[in-house]
Amino acid sequence: MTECSTRRREILDAAAELFARKGVAATTIREIADRVGVVSGALYHHFPSKLAIVDELVIDYLEELQRRYRAIDSRDLDPRSRLQAIVDTSLAVAHERPHATAVYQDELPHLRKRSPGTRASELADEVQQAWIDTIEDGKRRGAFRNDLPADVFHRFIRDCVWLSTRWHTADDAYTTHRLAADCVTIFLDGFAVDTHCSHPDSQHDAPAPAAA
């Protein structure tokens, strides 16, 4: 990695942490520069504006999701297993990159309005389509209910996955993998005791998530 690319990475990491904690609007270029240990003007050698930093953070995050989702596609899984893999992978990335996840969640709607048709918007559409395609495939095969719109189900389960990062941490005794499995089980099989399919580990008590 060159000195320039190393510095860009440092700027992106520092900005992601500040954006996640304070929000983009409340974070200044000077704060990002101070965190990296350079003068404010030096940041403009790497990024033309604060919004350019936001854009690159979101693009970098979505490219990582896209890469991992494509790896799932190559495994030729049945719809339920594929949905499980998508949830598992999404949570893994979220815990590996919590600050970038927060920026993605908070800033993507603004970015779509500000710059429709950009790389970030295209990537977001592709990432979303991976979920929709899996849900639609499950409906066609009779694995998922056919009376609910795929996009509505997608929004419910997607928000459950992304928002769980606000109360669940990677070092929780209630593991990320178990969280992913339970998320899919609840959405596909329900929570009532008379459901037709129970979680494979339901006979064992799992550690409770840490209190919010």
Residue 15 belongs to domain spanning: 1-48
Number of domain units in the chain: 2
What pLDDT score does 108 carry?
81
- Domain identity same for 20 and 89: no
Angle at 134 between CA 130 and CA 139, to 5 degrees: 150
- Domain identity same for 65 and 132: yes
What pLDDT score does 112 carry?
78
Residue 21: which CATH number? 1.10.10.60
Q: What is the CA radius of gyration of the chain?
A: 19
Residue 149: which CATH number? 1.10.357.10
pTM: 0.84
- Domain identity same for 126 and 181: yes
- Domain identity same for 188 and 84: yes
- Domain identity same for 103 and 60: yes
pLDDT at 50 over 50: yes
- Domain identity same for 37 and 104: no
pLDDT at 197 over 90: no
Residue 198's Cβ-count burial label (10 Å; 0-12, 13-18, 19+) is exposed
Angle at 62 between CA 48 and CA 36, to 5 degrees: 45
122-127 average pLDDT score = 92
Least confident of 5-9, 121-125, 196-200: 196-200
Among 32, 48, 64, the domain boundary falls at: 48
